[in-house]
Chains A and B, each alone.
Chain A
Amino acid sequence: MTTPALELQHVAKVFRKDRDIVRAVDDVTLVVEKGEFITFLGPSGCGKTTTLRMIAGFELPTEGRILIGGRDMTNIPANKRGIGFVFQNYALFPHMSVFHNVAYGLKSRGEDPGRIREKVGNALELVGLAQAVHRYPNQLSGGEQQRVALARVLALEPSLLLMDEPLSNLDAKLRLHMRTEIRRLQKRLGITCIYVTHDQAEALTMADRIMVMQKGKVEQIGTPQEIYNHPRTLFVADFIGQANAIRLRTSGYADGKAWAKVPGGWQLAARTSGGTILEKGTEAALVIRPERIRLEADAQAAGTLAATVAAATFVGSHVEYELDLGEGNTLKATVPYDPNARLHQEGARVGVRIDQESALFIPIEAKQG
């Protein structure tokens, strides 16, 4: 078995703010294999950037250990870690040309001028900016600055590449382009990469594995599909994609499935998150993805729940419905748009068909964390 590229062992960062003690990062444990692309995903203030900055060595953890390539780096200063860091605002040196920005790290290492020129050229070639070598950062567009920032760290062939929301300052179209670009480079160079973002689409499309964080704690670590299909907590279910959550009490459990009486009267059976055994009468949320719901014009159709359409919004490729199940329960449904069929009008009674394979019970306690 090879040494992991990065190991976080019970890492925590505690700030003292006035009289309160704030655990900005709390007990984060993670093992990253060589060549993996990991994203840290979470809302702002969840501790993802602080975790990244501790890996980089810009901040020291209050508790725990950080191992890079098997070496304990917990107290090693940033300049001795051999890590590449790409900043949200690029942090290009405004007083240096593109060449000198990219050459900066190589010079720190004391490489000879010929090698430096060659490596700078290669790095800029890699990001497609070889022609901009003599320009200054303020003469470059945002996307170009981003590429230079990338070239600057890639020139050093770091063992680990850390990126802090690197695309958030770019416009939407360029962002999409850079996503694939970064992923392509990462795969080609086989470099281990940790990428911080609050954009779930970015995380889902780029990552091998996602670490979802909230309030300093790890909510779940898994592949994009795992995270999407098997959220461990209500927070993850809600943060990644959209989710309907109906609060109810389970009425039975067997073989990884629980069932409960849903509004409308009948029993619905679904997996439990992580296959947890749910005692009868456990308070749980039944999580259903809006896109796993189909509507039928016949409210009485077999195997459907009767509901009233509260709102219908046409958004092009699909239609978003808000459905009223009665007893204060509502559902969101995302249905592919069919130009040949009529939209269900507001106030219409419809039959709601739920894909039971994808529905999931998450016990309510799990969301406290």
Chain B
Amino acid sequence: MTAASASRIRRPSLALRDPALFFALVTLWLSLGLFIILPFLRLLQATFIKDGALTLANLVKVWGKAYNRRAFSGSIILATGVSLAGTLLAYLFALAVTRTHWPRWVRWLLSSITILPLISPPFTSSISLTLALGPNGMLLKALGLGELNFYGFWGTWLSETLTYFPVAFMVLAAILSAMDPNLDDAAFSLGASRRRMFWTVTVPLSMPGIANSLLLLFGSSLADFATPLILGGHKFPVLPTQAYLQITGMYDLRGGATLSVLLLLPALLVYGIQRWMIGRKSYVTVTGKSGARSNFATLPRGLEIAMVIVCGLVALFIAYLYFIILWGSAVRVWGVDNSFTMEHYAYVFTHGRKAITDTLKIGITSTVLGSLLAVVLGYLFQRFRFAGRKTMEFVSMLNYALPGTVVGIAYIIAFNEKPLLLTGTITILVAAYIFRYYATGIRSVMASLQQIDPSLEEASMSLGAGRVRTFMEVTVPLIIPAVLAGMRYLFIHSMTAISATIFLVSVRWTLLTTRILESMTELQFSQASAFSIVLIILVFIADIVMGWALRRSSLRFGTTQETSYDNTGA
């Protein structure tokens, strides 16, 4: 219904013509307004408005401090470093998994090991790196390196690269396996060598994926809060930790807000470029002609040797890091008294019990409510044309695009005073998770609806079913796989994310992630390890259950649902 045609004849207003849609839109705009628009505006207000007037004074003041400028350049340098190293590493892994003739189990192992960092809480690699390379580090001792101070840029860079490269791996593996192997054959028959074929066919065709993963990793690193908090140290400040310390250490809400706005600019820039790239057509096409599919050509020998070394070492190192955290959780005092004990687990299940149940409560509530919301929004965006649809879509995804620290600070500013005094309540924690991590759910619901012919819904309507019944009995059963994929993502992140919620926790509600952070700052490494292991196991079980449900539901009508694991802004 275009605006022009609506004005041509007198049509009953939306409220009368479609009360269900009208009611849904009003409710949704109210909740998006409350939990996305309001906090964002309050953040900008705290930064740019002082005594009722528009001002850049806050920005000037913050920028005037050399330490803050270092945090800004630190963030950018770190993000660039992680983005380059992570993409390179991911490309090697992706080549190994999709393009080599290595034994099947080796390739399976390589791709499985990349899943570990995806479902682990953001502290995991920081803790295990500390245990390995920090003071009393196990690996340091084993290699006889003595004192190596790895806190600062290098430690953070290494940890973030290992944590985020799997995101890029998924993107690149997808694009590499979607290419047409006949192109390889064509290049060969035109006389190209293996090396020439790789550089002139494979690499150029991977460019869209490479660009996308560079951006993804840049954004992830920019927004990462947990790693630099533990490994950055005073020498290497970055914006998210700086903003956090400004607020929690100096009680300077305005300063923290201003710092987070500085962080916002590069983050939105990256998000904008990404959206623009998705909008353009990529030239990698997946053809349905599976009959004539030949094998991909072998890679140049030098490259394969490099891949064996790099992938092997990295995979071993990741496995080692997980092993060390398991070990660390079961010794008395790491590096000092390495005798076996279960006392840390006893601690976790007694003193930490509340954190476990709280985290589960919040995780489950967020997952259930968030996926309901994602279904409704995805359905509206895909199936209806209404005024302000594009705006609504943009607004609903805004918190997802923003770094967690920015969202957290915006939330404390917005919800710290009456009548919206919500800080410290479960409501605010759940809202923070939902509106940040339901984006994947919305996207997969939209993608799934795109595959479903609208005539199914029309058929239901013409058979006398109302809109609600049509939705519940026809639409929902068909998009269950997409909903499950969204739930999986929501659950993992509501269990493990910390950057936004660190500002919102209280005595009433504690999270496992904040308990890990406390243990780390108190140098109780073994305790932190035990908390981490419990959290990893919880998430892992949930992930397996949901993965199983997802496969089962996809099998029913022969459709497969792409699972998105991307970790942006954890």
Contacts of A14 in B (CB 8 A): 4-5, 8
Q: How many chain-A residues does the 8 Å CB contact rule pick out?
A: 36
Identify B463's interface contact among A15, A75, A152, CB under 8 A: A152
Chain B residue nearest to A53 (CB atoms) is B458
B455 with A95: CB separation less than 8 A:
no
Contact of A83 with B by CB under 8 A: yes
Contact of B60 with A by CB under 8 A: no
B462 with A83: CB separation less than 8 A:
yes
Residues of chain A touching chain B, judged by Cβ–Cβ distance below 8 Å, are: 14-16, 21, 56-58, 60, 62-63, 75, 77-85, 87-89, 91-95, 104-105, 108-109, 138, 152-153, 156
Chain A residue nearest to B462 (CB atoms) is A85
Rounded to whole angstroms, the CA-CA distance of A315 and B1 in the bound complex is 50
Rounded to whole angstroms, the CA-CA distance of A95 and B453 in the bound complex is 14
Known: A75-B11, A85-B459, A91-B453. A105 touches B557 (CB 8 A): no
A93 with B464: CB separation less than 8 A:
no
CB pairs A–B below 8 angstroms (15 shown): A16-B2, A60-B1, A62-B9, A75-B17, A78-B461, A79-B470, A81-B462, A85-B462, A88-B455, A89-B453, A91-B455, A95-B478, A105-B464, A105-B465, A108-B469
A78 with B11: CB separation less than 8 A:
no
Contacts of B418 in A (CB 8 A): none
Minimal beta-carbon separation of A59 from chain B (angstroms): 9
Contact of B52 with A by CB under 8 A: no
A104 with B2: CB separation less than 8 A:
no
Minimal beta-carbon separation of B284 from chain A (angstroms): 29
A91 with B456: CB separation less than 8 A:
yes
A-B complex: 8 closest residue pairs judged by Cβ atoms: A105-B463, A108-B464, A91-B459, A91-B455, A78-B461, A85-B462, A16-B2, A108-B465
Chain A residue nearest to B5 (CB atoms) is A62
Contact of B477 with A by CB under 8 A: yes
User: How many contacts between A and B, using CB within 8 angstroms?
Assistant: 92
Minimal beta-carbon separation of A94 from chain B (angstroms): 5
> B-side binding surface: helix, strand, loop or mixed?
helix
B9, B459, B461, B556: which has the most chain A beta carbons within 10 Å?
A: B459
Contacts of B460 in A (CB 8 A): 79, 93, 104
Q: How many chain-B residues does the 8 Å CB contact rule pick out?
A: 32
Contacts A78-B461, A79-B460 known; 12 new A-B pairs at CB < 8 A: A63-B9, A78-B458, A88-B455, A89-B453, A91-B455, A94-B478, A94-B557, A95-B478, A105-B463, A138-B557, A152-B463, A153-B463
Contact with A along B537-570 (1 / 0, CB 8 A): 0000000000000000000111000000000000
Minimal beta-carbon separation of A12 from chain B (angstroms): 10
Chain A residue nearest to B455 (CB atoms) is A91
A60 with B462: CB separation less than 8 A:
no
Minimal beta-carbon separation of A149 from chain B (angstroms): 8
Known: A89-B455, A91-B456, A95-B556. A15 touches B2 (CB 8 A): yes
Contact of B306 with A by CB under 8 A: no
A108 with B557: CB separation less than 8 A:
no
Chain A residue nearest to B12 (CB atoms) is A75
Identify A84's interface contact among B4, B462, B556, CB under 8 A: B462
Contact of B269 with A by CB under 8 A: no
Minimal beta-carbon separation of A37 from chain B (angstroms): 19
B1 with A56: CB separation less than 8 A:
no
Minimal beta-carbon separation of A171 from chain B (angstroms): 21
